[in-house]
Structure 1
Amino acid sequence: MKNFFKTSLALLLGMFPSWGLALGDDLKFSAACGPSQHFASISFVGDILIHKMLYVNVTQESQDFSQIWRAINPLFSKAHFSVANLEGPAALGIDSQGRDWGDVGFIYDDRVYSGTNFSFNYHPRILTDLKKSGIDLLTLANNHILDRTSLGIDRTLTAAQSAGMNVVGVRHSQDRNASFARIVTVQGISIAFVGCTESTNGRPDRKDQVLNCNQAQTENVIKELSNRSDVDAVIIYTHWGDEYKQSPNSRQIANARKFLDAGAVAVIGSHPHVLQPWDKYVTKDGRETFIVYSLGNFVAAQKDVERKASAVIYLGLAKKDQSKASITGVAYTPTVRSGYKILPVNSNGDRSVLNYLQKHFGKTGILNVDESLPLKLCRKLPEQGSFGYKSR
């Protein structure tokens, strides 16, 4: 029996060699931020779910969604570019049946705007509030994006354009040839962002508006982008996995590696509402790549530390001459919801939060609020003046 378990374990490790290796450990990357190189830092947060408790509080106080996460804004400012998942549409006046009620104002009525009963829609002001907070790009590919039908996606895209917000993972019903990606130049590095989801909660995507992680189309999108001479890196934000499970399932692991072998440099996951580990994966062509299987809830009104705590994840990229960009390092700052606010947590903070985060992301990668991000992400510093944080 003992030999049977040893053999079974060996087979499992052969199928998924990252189990027992880097998964959830302190990660190191070999690329350096040397002189005459472009260097860019990207931050990521998980699901933004404005549940009823939080939404009603916003309508009663500032009518500014950023009152929830304002304490995190300085963490976004540390990075050159910031990305999040907005869980659900921001469709002006549309109810769950796709009926248009017009501009009913900034309210919470459980008809047009709701954050409960598995049906979400936010006043489009949330897009402006995220933008002014420092979020530069949103993935909208998630299981709630069709909560206001196809029209809800169209209205959300219109609002995002008005707010100057980059979005990925969905497209307008009248533009079925539109890309699910967005190419953005950050500090001289051209990065293609993609978003995909495993599910739309059974709501049919009749107009092919949402990129599905489990279809070959997603891998093809990554291959096409990574082969372009004007793209230095491809990053995909995935909405996948089993809710409330703190380990990735076999499909997540297989798809993450498939996407990275197709040319992506990083896979950032969400949806389980809890954290799942990060990992370093060396692709078949020898590239060091990065996976976060789930960032859990950034904003949500769920209980217990596992659903209240999350992190701002940081990724460093460096590029020289005509080469593709490489990862220089990763770091994270823990966050936690306390009441109606999302707060940062330093390395001497709440022990239950830190234990939870360190279990998934290791101990050495923690970045305190007052620490320098480039020093954390770079083994060697690039030329002076090339870090340049974004101004708000």
Structure 2
Amino acid sequence: MKNALMILGLGLMAFTSYAQQDLFNEPSLVSPEINPDKTVTFRIKAPLAQSVSVSGSLDGDNAFAPITYQMEKGEGGLWTYTTPLLPSELYRYNFSVDSVRTLDPSNSYAIRDVSNLSNIFLVEGGKADMYKVQDVPHGTVAYRWYDSPGNDKKRRMAVYTPNGYENSTEDYPVLYLLHGVGGDEEAWLGSGRAAQIMDNLIAQGKAEPMIVVMTNGNVFQQASPGNGSRGFPKITFMLPNTMDGKFEETFGDVMTFIKNNYRTKDSKAGRAIAGLSMGGFHTANIALNYPDTFDYIGLFSSALGVRMGNVTSTMYENQDEKLKQQMDNGYKLYWMAIGEDDMDMILKGNQDFRTKMDNLGMKYEFVGTKGGHTWNNWRDYLTIFAQRLFK
């Protein structure tokens, strides 16, 4: 009996040491700690480090700018830093230990943007409440594979259906929501918090129940990194077929799948399209090349005017004539927004596009905001735009 207990004990020790891996290695530090006064304290134990800093969107007026703060070393090699008061927002950050970028080992919540992983936290009590999971009815997010004959491959998209969709027989309007360069079908769900925003807006009666389709705008890929047949490729910012017309040319494959697999309002009045940065560029050109298809168009910090080398595509030709046709066909809302601190190239492209629209007498709404080419702006834009749809 004694031998059996000894063997069992040794087995449990081995199980704890090896089978459970990191289960029992939970850090005891609290980081980040959101204090009652809405300052935030970061902590990391690095007794041998000479320099430790925290970087990220830790300034309320410059969220997502590359701001870095030096941390202070204390007893036992514990490094700390406390921010000034932070307004309600979703923030991201990372540590640098002796110039080596690393995640916060005490924060299990991290998100990928292109190839960079950053920790996140949310300060409640304001607009970020729209980004958190509230006690409201929730929609469903599904990753769907569809045939794309135009790209000669199966591809993946994310589809949000509002609460009640599965148990109803009614048809729903559709918002096609496009990401920026380096993103994929997961970007709007992760950094963009699209599902939480839609859940909360619909529950509050501020937005109509709608289907939201989040595509992968990089037609070189089947799916986001690690989810396609290429396995685990090195993640890169730029991919082949980026803004060369191929995504716009094959967008009909996306719409065909949605029409055939979901109960949708199959009419111009039941369709909207919007996108950020590269996705805004795609949005503008899809709206031009699929005439009389969308009643609602949204450009969020659109990369209008950006060209990738010597790209030639019929999708980008005869823009003036296509704009005139779009105006003559009519639409309910053409909505554009951009931050005043965005890149000069982006600002100029948007101004030039608006000048074309002005010369035609084409109606649109323009919203200029603070900030730059940032997710905190794009979440705001989605929140505003979604409330204007299908009314």
Shorter-chain TM-score above 0.5? no
Q: Which has the larger radius of gyration?
A: 2
Q: TM-score, normalised by structure 1?
A: 0.32
Q: TM-score, normalised by structure 2?
A: 0.32
Higher RCO by CA contacts (8 Å cutoff, separation 6 or greater): 1
Structure (1/2) with the larger helix percentage:
2
